[in-house]
């Protein structure tokens, strides 16, 4: 009996910070032998380039004019994802506080979103077996025809505790301050005019507040496997 052909599957995982998107997406992609794309890293890379090149990130016109200049390349191996700008590895600096504070402003610029969305669609289209793409507008704007759409949620308290735990060892982590920062980021992402954070109408919502990471991973894998079976 001939082997069944590989049917690529595109999985869109959206949701606010601290819901477990990155950990879940990477684990699902590795387990199912799919590619992985952290779209947030792309926006952070764009923001890092703006800051490094003296662009006023609070001037939308200046950001828009410069948005086509940086060459951003994303590696899609879930076990070792990479991100470079003009050939430079920026995986560490894009996680710094300066970039974190500026990324919402840069991400809100329509020209930036158009440029990054174009990159995302090209990467997804080129993934031979399929890809897990995580972000905030993947199921609604970037990849509206994704085969599986999942929207992760969690309480603000749970998200703040998780994010603070991630930051320990790199930066001072105060749960109350982290919670306040997350809420501000939610408001900025949900309120922007271009591609706001939103749940797609056909997305499956998964509340991760009381779930362990393995439970969330299993839930997502089950949803993807069901979709692949229907596809055959």
The whole model's pTM is what?
A: 0.88
Please name each of the domains of the chain with its CATH number.
9-227 (3.40.50.300)
Average pLDDT over residues 198-210: 94
Three-class HEC string of the chain: CCCCCCCCEEEEEECCCCCCHHHHHHHHHHHCCCEEEEHHHHHHHHHHHHHHCCCCCCCHHHHHHHCCCCCEEEECCCCCCEEEECCEECCCHHHCHHHHHHHHHHHCCHHHHHHHHHHHHHHHHHCCCEEEEEECCHHHHHCCCCCEEEEEECCHHHHHHHHHHHHCCCCCCCHHHHHHHHHHHHHHHHHCCCCCCCCCCCCEEEECCCCCHHHHHHHHHHHHHHHHHHHC
Q: What is the pLDDT of residues 13-56, one digit of tens each?
A: 999 888 999 999 999 999 999 999 999 999 999 999 999 999 99
Q: What is the pLDDT of residues 62-111, one digit of tens each?
A: 999 999 999 999 999 999 999 999 999 999 999 999 999 999 899 999 99
- With a pLDDT cut of 70, the percent of the chain lying above it is 93
């Amino acid at each position: 009996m001939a082997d069944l052909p590989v049917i690529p599957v595109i999985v869109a995982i959206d949701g606010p910070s601290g819901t477990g998107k990155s950990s879940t997406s990477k684990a699902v992609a590795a387990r199912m032998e799919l590619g992985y794309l952290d779209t947030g890293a792309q926006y952070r890379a764009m923001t890092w380039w703006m800051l490094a090149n003296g662009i006023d990130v609070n001037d939308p016109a200046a950001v828009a004019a410069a948005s086509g200049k940086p060459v951003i390349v994303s590696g899609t191996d879930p076990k070792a994802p990479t991100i470079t700008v003009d050939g430079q590895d920026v995986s560490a600096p894009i996680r710094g506080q300066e970039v974190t504070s500026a990324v919402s402003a840069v991400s809100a610029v329509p020209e930036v979103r158009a440029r990054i969305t174009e990159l995302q669609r090209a990467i997804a289209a080129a993934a031979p077996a399929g890809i897990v793409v995580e972000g905030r507008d993947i199921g609604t704007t970037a990849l509206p025809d994704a085969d599986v759409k999942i929207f992760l949620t969690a309480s603000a308290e749970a998200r703040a505790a998780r994010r603070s735990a991630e930051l320990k060892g790199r930066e001072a982590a105060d749960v109350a301050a982290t919670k306040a920062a997350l809420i501000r980021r939610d408001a900025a992402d949900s309120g922007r005019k271009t591609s706001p954070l939103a749940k797609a109408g056909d997305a499956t919502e998964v509340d991760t507040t009381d779930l362990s990471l393995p439970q969330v991973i299993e839930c997502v894998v089950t949803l993807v496997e069901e979709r692949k079976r229907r596809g055959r």
